[in-house]
Amino acid sequence: MRDGQSQGRRAIGAGSIVLLIVAVPLWNEFRVRGNLAWNVFLGVFLCGLAVAAIMLQHYLRQHPSEIGEARFDTTNTADDS
């Protein structure tokens, strides 16, 4: 079980690394020469997305057991006689 948690944490970290690597091609694809307002918005958006991914990775590392632990009572109480 301990190895499974370690592997899950590595997968979470790999997701943020992939996002950071993909941010550079996204910038190259969507920037428009001569349109400063769009380029500033795009840069801020990509930086915000990268920061959000890192913060999500940090949260998931701090609370690994809370993710996916929702339990619901699915018993049918209307048929109780």
Domain that holds residue 25: 2-62
Query: Is 73 part of a structural domain of the chain?
Result: no
- The pTM score is 0.60
Query: Is 15 part of a structural domain of the chain?
Result: yes
Crossing angle for the helix pair 2-30 and 36-62, to the nearest 10 degrees: 180
Residues 6+ apart with CB under 8 A from 23: 46, 49, 50
Query: Is 70 part of a structural domain of the chain?
Result: no
Number of compact structural domains in the chain: 1
Query: Is 80 part of a structural domain of the chain?
Result: no
Per-residue pLDDT tens over the stretch 22-56: 888 988 999 999 999 999 999 999 888 888 887 88
